[in-house]
Amino acid sequence: MSGILDGKRILITGVLMESSIAFHAAKVAQEQGAEVILTAFPRPTLTERIAKKLPKPAKVIELDVTNDEHLARLEGLVRDELGSLDGVVHSIGFAPQDALGGNFLNTPFESVATAMHVSAFSLKSLTMACLPLMQNGGSVVGLTFDAQFAWPQYDWMGPAKAALEATSRYLARDLGKQNVRCNLISAGPLGSMAAKSIPGFTDLAKVWDERSPLEWDMADPEPAGRGIVALLSDFFPKTTGEIVHVDGGVHIMGA
């Protein structure tokens, strides 16, 4: 059976648990014919354990996206394994506890800086680390939580996601000439580790029960994974700097 990622080589960050959006991106990507390589943070052993649940084996490389040495050695490690890349998935987000959960007005800049570094600037760092591997063009896909709105509890992750969204547009601008696209999936709430670390995030998710035109299941990250794979494929060849909502349609609702 042929798949929409047949013959493509894809690097996927952010596989931590089976609930990780990135796990589902990796699963669907393999099902659609891609060869997948994973990066791991904080420990490769965790990601290796989860990777065993994928349909096919996937090599795991350690990568803290704020560590310049890790970023510098990434190209060589991926080249040894796959030779080149056709796509990169950025599925990374983090903010310290004092930047979340209702502490917006009192968060120290140090914590804001960490959130920005890990969650937004890293899209640029990761893309540039992988760029030499995408000589024939490529597709970079990241994950946002709609930064047009001020959400309860989300606090400094909101500005971090706004920065991620802008970073994606600037990358799209600067890498178009190399036929490298950069797009984001704006996902609805999902019950991953990252979400559970935000106090009150499940209350926020109740909005989806009331407002989502399409039924939304917080326990099902596969729709987000499918969206990522669609953007990695050749079916969006002239789309870049875009944000595709995989949120059940909540973003269109006025009330």
Active site residues: 154, 161
91 binds ligand NAD (CB under 6 A): yes
> Which member of 11, 12, 41, 165 binds ligand NAD (CB under 6 A)?
41
Q: How far apart are CA 52 and CA 61, in angstroms?
A: 15
Cβ neighbours of 59 (radius 10 Å): 16
Stretch that binds ligand NAD, among 64-72, 79-87, 107-115, 174-182 (CB under 6 A): 64-72
- Shortest distance in whole angstroms from residue 177 CB to ligand NAD: 27
Q: Give the count of alpha carbons within 13 A of 198, CB side only.
A: 29
One-character DSSP codes across 115-171: HHIIIIIHHHHHHHHHGGG-TT-EEEEEEE--TTS--TTTTTHHHHHHHHHHHHHHH
One-character DSSP codes across 68-112: HHHHHHHHHHHHHHHS--SEEEE------GGGSSS-GGG--HHHH
Cβ contact 132:11 at 8 Å? no
Which DSSP category does 14 fall into? -
42 cis-preceded (ω within 30 degrees of 0): yes
Rank residues 62 and 176 by Cβ distance to ligand NAD and give the closer one: 62
Rank residues 54 and 187 by Cβ distance to ligand NAD and give the closer one: 187
16 binds ligand NAD (CB under 6 A): yes
- Shortest distance in whole angstroms from residue 128 CB to ligand NAD: 15
- Shortest distance in whole angstroms from residue 231 CB to ligand NAD: 14
Question: Residues touching ligand NAD: how many (CB under 6 A)?
Answer: 27
> Which member of 187, 229, 230, 232 binds ligand NAD (CB under 6 A)?
187
Position closest to ligand NAD via CB? 93
> Which member of 60, 85, 118, 231 binds ligand NAD (CB under 6 A)?
118
Q: Which residues bind ligand NAD (CB under 6 A)?
A: 13-14, 16-17, 20-22, 41, 63-66, 91-94, 118, 143-145, 187, 189-190, 192-195
